[in-house]
Amino acid sequence: MNLLQRVIGPISTNLYVLGDEASREAIAIDTATPCVEWLTATLAERGWTLKLIVSTHRHWDHIGDNAAVQSATGAQIAAHTLDRRGLEAPTPQYAPFPIPPSVPAIDLAEGSRIRFGEINLEVLHTPGHTEGSVCLLADNADLLFTGDTLFAGGWGRTDLAGGSEDQMVASLARLSRLADELSVRPGHGPASTIEREKGWLAAVASSGRLPL
């Protein structure tokens, strides 16, 4: 499995592309605006066919190019069922440009599996930032794509519509119990590992509250 990353848009969203060399199929995670030109050129250069666009949650900075990428590649869109409405009728609060609607063909849920060739992702429902926020675990590659649930040294906001501090605490506590060697690939900022974040994550789990 090949992993590519590109920082996209006005608030530096991490777009990830996973490619399977044997099948030449690929998945894109969080197609922020503007990524179509780079993404299509990259796919063509490598001879990959984009099969799926996965949105870790419904906020504009993670879904802005969903419709455009789908139109350019024919890929299907996947998102958690609780965030579906946010893709179909986006509320682009603070967005500096319009956010076109996009329609998920695949509803994700806790325990869903995304498989293409060697790509095997387990969906972890981790609400708190939004109702339908998910993380994607590739345990065969020691990778965890965390969207805006877990960052290096921090977590996603809980004060926006659909956010919940209690749910975020529960989600972070869950992530604290994952394997130390997992490479954390967040929706913004640098990569980390579960081991590196373990101290404060364990404190959240034991205290039942977010750090001050």
Domain ranges of the chain: 2-93+106-207
**pTM (2 d.p.):** 0.97
Q: What is the mean pLDDT of residues 20-26?
A: 95
Query: Is the domain defined by 2-93+106-207 classed in CATH 3.60.15.10?
Result: yes
For residue 206 the two structure tokens come to 């034991």
Strand residue runs (E) in 109-202: 113-116, 119-125, 134-138, 143-147, 150-151, 154-155, 183-186, 192-193
Beta partners for 56?
Answer: none
Question: How do residues 171-201 score in pLDDT, each as one tens digit?
Answer: 999 999 999 999 999 999 999 999 999 999 9
